[in-house]
Structure 1
Amino acid sequence: MMLRNEEGYNDPTADKVFSSVLKKPVSEQDAKSLSRIKHLMHLLRFAANEFGFDIEERVILRDKQTGKIWR
């Protein structure tokens, strides 16, 4: 599944970044977190678009399970 931007078009840049990150040797826990983040960002972009907004800045997330901060 390719990431999509706010307008619903494929976003190859973001998809390439996530794909390259997922290809790096990471712990199983980090891989699961990255997968959840990818899905979450898709939902955030969709929700923002539905309410007439765009996400303009970096989204910083803290994983409640691990305490790790994702920038």
Structure 2
Amino acid sequence: MSERCKTIDRDLSRNGSGYYDPTAYKAMKRVEADEKRYGKDYERFYNLLNTIFYICELAGFHVEGRIVLTDKKTGKVWK
């Protein structure tokens, strides 16, 4: 692993106050892994999710619970 990657990993493991935050670090690493694994499908899902939130906001609603979607093309369940 290059020195630059080690520095970036170290930065991600710290919160805004500079304290070690393993929970946030693990979540960020999981998101990065999903982005690599699912590529364009990941981008499609988050674009759709942002559109859903935007439409709800325009209509005067707020999404309270988890949205679960299944990709008809791939069969992947997005939570």
Q: Deviations over 1:6-27 (max 9, x none)?
A: xxxxxxxxxxx68851x21643
CA distance in 1 between partners of 2:47 and 2:76 (Å) = 17
Change in 2 beyond 3 A, CA 1:60/1:47: same
What is the total number of aligned residue pairs between the two structures? 52
Identity of aligned residues (%): 29
Query: Normalised by the size of structure 1, how large is the TM-score?
Result: 0.61
- 1:43 correspondence with 2:51: yes
- Please identify the structure whose Cα radius of gyration is greater: 2
Higher helix fraction (1 or 2): 2
CA distance in 1 between partners of 2:77 and 2:47 (Å) = 17
Question: Which of 1 and 2 has higher RCO (CA within 8 Å, sep 6+)?
Answer: 1
Tell me which stretches of 4 or more aligned residues in structure 1 moved more than 4 Å.
17-20
Identify the residue that residue 55 of structure 1 maps to in structure 2: 63
Q: Which runs of 5 or more residues in structure 2 are unaligned?
A: 1-26
CA distance in 2 between partners of 1:69 and 1:41 (Å) = 13
Whether the aligned pair in 2 keeps the contact of 1:60 and 1:69 (CA below 8 Å) is: yes
Q: Which runs of 5 or more residues in structure 1 are unaligned?
A: 1-16
Query: Normalised by the size of structure 2, how large is the TM-score?
Result: 0.56
